[in-house]
Structure 1
Amino acid sequence: MAENQSIKNQDSSDEIDLGQLFQLIGRGFNAIFRFILRVFLYLKKNAFILIGLILLGLAVGYGLNQIVSKRLKTEVIVKPQLNSKNYLYDVIDELQSNIAAKDTSFFQSIGIMDIDFSGLEITVGKAMEEVTSETDMQYLELLQNFENTNAIADLLRAELEDKSSFSHRITFYYKNKEKGSEFAKKVMDYINSNSYFDDVLQITRNNAENRIEQNQVLLEQVDRIVTNYTNNLASGNNPISSERIILDNQEQVNIADLFQYKNILIRDIEAKKLELAEQLQPISIINFGKPQIVRKSFFGKNIVLVPIVFILFFFLISFLRYLNRKAKLPENSK
């Protein structure tokens, strides 16, 4: 009998707990509904004021867009040569510091006589990153077979420098289109007027030209050896197994390695010719862009930003008035 009574009490308590839970859920939904209703009534009550503020903000934002002169920019894509990346960033910092100080004497010294500092700014950053492909990795692995030859050190250094050299974007900001474009050209001339890099660049170009000539001589010798080997093989005078080629390091290389060595010489000649085409200046200019308008983000435009500011300011005033009314309630109750 006692057990039945305890079971009934437990069931009734469970029903009471569930009932309280449903009541709490119902109260929560009612609170949410009342909040939504209050917001709706608030917006309905102030609809004309909000619409007026939006229209006023659009008008003021449009007027500001017409009054404030648009900012222009010129983007220059460059590629530093001869490990001149640090020099590029340092000289850009120097130029930006002189712009902030409005040092006209400095810019006159580099040939810029008439300069407008209004909205003038220079920035630099990485434009793109190069990813080493599977073919490039296979090529570097192939070079390991000839690691004791004289040409391999230069080849590996050229490959590593090429893969670690990224393109960079120099951005010139200004308001005067004519003066800004001329300013960008003068600055690029100043950046590439470094005497140290000019001397190193000339030496590098001479070395590349000499390397091409030497590789062409070696390539002709390899072709003659391969031709003699082919003729001897056709006549049957020498067996294939006894054929060996002696390179400049006095190590024996078979005919298959000789063909690979020939391909390396060809690729080295191609790389040096490419260096001669690229290394014309310390900072090679890949693309010198045209002036363009600086496009702002959607929320950065005055025609959008001003109405939002007006609406937020109105909500802030309404909230402060609401707090003020709540603060006066205890006084009225007294």
Structure 2
Amino acid sequence: MGKKKEKKSKNPEIDLLTVFDRIGDFFEWIKTLLFGIIHFFVKNAIVVVVLIILGFGLGLLIAKVAPRFEQKIIVAPNFKSTDYLYSKIDLLSSKISSNDTLFLKSIGIQKPSEMVSITIEPIVDVTNLMNGNEKNTELLELMAQNGDLKSIIKETTTNKNFTLHTIVLNTSSLVSSQNIVEPLLKYLNASPYYEAYNRINSQNIQNSIKRKEETILQIDGILNQFSGTYGKLSSNEKLVYYNENMNLDEVIKTKDSLANEINKLKIEQYNTSKTIKEKGIILNAKNTKTIKEKLIFTLPLVFVGLFVLYSFCISFYKKQSLKTI
């Protein structure tokens, strides 16, 4: 019995020593590994430096030979045509991906081979979205309770409720508004349905402006009549007439209100002059987010990594060869 107790009492000490030994072996392995890595790069410093310079130079050459330029067109789809706009951009994207130059030339693009890609994304304006529609406010509040608001507004179903959208076109060369933007906008606006809708909307606005202008002319006539007929009366007589027959202040306010409405209608008429109305154009911005631009930094790492892998394979092969001899 006494011997068994001794064995049991010694076991914990032996196990603890074993753990410390293994920890020590692990740190020793780490030190050996670090030394091996440092020794490898010191030994092959010239080769590593040459590979880094070669990779950087090759990446720079590729970026200069095949640059990418970004064209941005800010647009506002009118008459609830956002879905139509997105479907048109999707079609263009597929035509560019499949290199369908015949289709691109048919819509007026002069150099279709220089078009690399086209995408569209909304200009996120949550305040405008919420102020413009009470239903949108309630919907966002309800959805935000069950998720992140930032991720919600990036979803496609929510994207299309924003007023402004950005068309991003990547090209392989510098472009002009005449050979890219104008044909693209003409194609996006080529819809018999929306063209007819636009004509009716424009006519309705014009009729509304005309009616309001006629009302203003009538008000001016009343004011002129008042000032002409009663201009010779004394101040007290004018005041009595004004109090008993009309509220001249309200008439003037009505005229000002009509004038403001006419101004708003004219702005609306301008903004809705096209189904897809351009708001701003930015051409030939150098795109630094493409893979080719990133090659300047990734190629040196790739070359060095391949050299390390090659050296490891050669070293492994030599060691295995010695064991077999």
**TM-score interval for Structure 1 and Structure 2 normalised by the shorter chain:** 0.5 to 0.7
User: Residue 285 of structure 1: CA displacement?
Assistant: 0.8
SS in 1 for 2:278: strand
Quick one: which of 251, 272, 283 aligns to 1:279? 272
* Root-mean-square deviation (Å): 4.4
Paired residue type of 2:194: F
Counterpart of 2:166 (choices 163, 166, 169) is 169
Structure-2 separation of matches of 1:268 and 1:286: 23
1:72 is aligned to 2:69: yes
Report the Cα distance in structure 2 between the residues aligned to 1:24 and 1:189, rounded to whole angstroms: 74
| Aligned residue type for 1:72 | F
Calculate percent identity across the aligned residue pairs: 26
Equivalent position of 1:200 in the other structure: 197
Shift of 1:294: 1.5
- The 1:322–1:300 alpha-carbon spacing in structure 2 relative to 1, beyond 3 Å, is farther
Q: Residues 26 and 210 of structure 1: is their aligned pair in 2 closer, same or farther, counting only changes over 3 Å?
A: same
Does the 8 Å CA contact 2:99/2:113 hold for their aligned counterparts? no
Gaps spanning 5+ residues in structure 1: where? 142-162, 218-234, 236-264
Cα distance in 1 for residues equivalent to 2:56 and 2:16: 54
Which secondary structure state, in structure 2, belongs to the residue aligned with residue 193 of structure 1?
Answer: coil
| 1:253 alignment counterpart | none
Structure 1 counterpart of 2:91: 94
Letter in 2 for 1:17: D
Cα 1:172–1:315 change in 2 (3 A) is same
Q: What is the match of residue 295 of structure 1?
A: 288
Judged with a 3 Å threshold, the aligned counterparts in structure 2 of structure 1 residues 202 and 291 are, in CA distance, closer, same or farther, namely: same
Does residue 320 of structure 2 align to residue 327 of structure 1? Answer: yes
**Per-residue deviation, 1:305:** 2.9
Distance 1:48 1:180, change over 3 A: farther
Match of 2:39 in 1: 41
Q: How do residues 254-273 of structure 1 correspond to structure 2 at under 5 angstroms?
A: none
Shift of 1:287: 0.8
Aligned pairs for 1:22-37 (under 5 A) are 22-37=20-35
User: Counterpart amino acid of 2:299?
Assistant: V
Q: Identify which of 11, 14, 17 aligns with 1:13.
A: 11
Task: State the AA in 2 paired with 1:123.
Answer: I
Note if contact 1:77-1:168 (Cα within 8 Å) is conserved in structure 2. Answer: yes
Separation (CA, whole Å) in 2 of partners of 1:199 and 1:84: 13
**Structure 1 residues 90 and 303 mapped into 2: Cα distance closer, same or farther (>3 Å)?**
same
Matching of residue 183 in structure 1 with residue 176 in structure 2: no
Q: CA deviation at 1:181?
A: 5.4
Q: 1:198 to 1:122 in 2, by over 3 A?
A: farther
Q: Select the residue among 111, 118, 122 that pairs with 1:123.
A: 118
Matched, 1:309 2:302: yes
Q: Report the residue type matching 2:60 in the other structure.
A: Y
Distance 1:97 1:131 in 2: 30
* Structure-2 residue corresponding to 1:239: none
Secondary structure at the counterpart of residue 126 of structure 2 = coil
Q: Distance in 2 between matches of 1:306 and 1:94?
A: 34
SS at match of 1:291: strand
After TM superposition, the score normalised by the length of structure 2 is: 0.66
**How many pairs align?**
270
